[in-house]
Amino acid sequence: MEMVIWIVIIACFIASFASVIFPLIPAPLVLWIGFLAYFFFLDGEALSVFFWIGAIVLTILLIVSDIIANSYFVKRYGGSKWGERAAAVGVIVGSFIIPPLGILIVPFVLVIIVELVQRRESKDALKAAIGSLFGFLSGTVAKIIIQLIMIVWFFIDI
């Protein structure tokens, strides 16, 4: 039985990285399923309170990393506040539309539309939309790093 639980835990950790390509897979949820499977079925005493607090904080960062990165880069590349908001909405909506490319295409298109509606020049709208692409890429890198930290911390703590 212990081997089955370890297979579930490892599968959850692998699935969390698959969420980078397939955003419909909820990375935080599958990580927590792995953590809780260990806690409830193997050794509940092994994981420290410090680990659980850190896991909660890192989970919050993991959830908002795409939105924060997209907003930051849209703003940095000259996008408006509405462009930032459109990028954030685009990340959320895009993860449900034509996965996995929707998370790239939808924010990009939304930012262009919002910037053009605000009577910005095409060049400036395109520049802000490119910022949303950089935001996605940096958010993805942040997610991978955060997930690695959580998984490594898990194995160190047990």
DSSP assigned state of 97: S
Question: Helix, strand, or coil here: 53?
Answer: helix
Quote the pTM value. 0.82
Report how far residue 147's alpha carbon sits from residue 87's, in angstroms, rounded to the nearest whole number.
23
Count the residues in the chain.
Answer: 158
Q: pLDDT tens digits, residue range 18-72?
A: 988 777 789 999 999 999 999 999 998 889 999 999 999 999 999 888 778 877 8
**Cα 87 to chain centroid, rounded:** 14
Domain-by-domain residue ranges, the chain? 2-157
pLDDT (tens digit, 9 = 90+) per residue, 20-34?
877 778 999 999 999
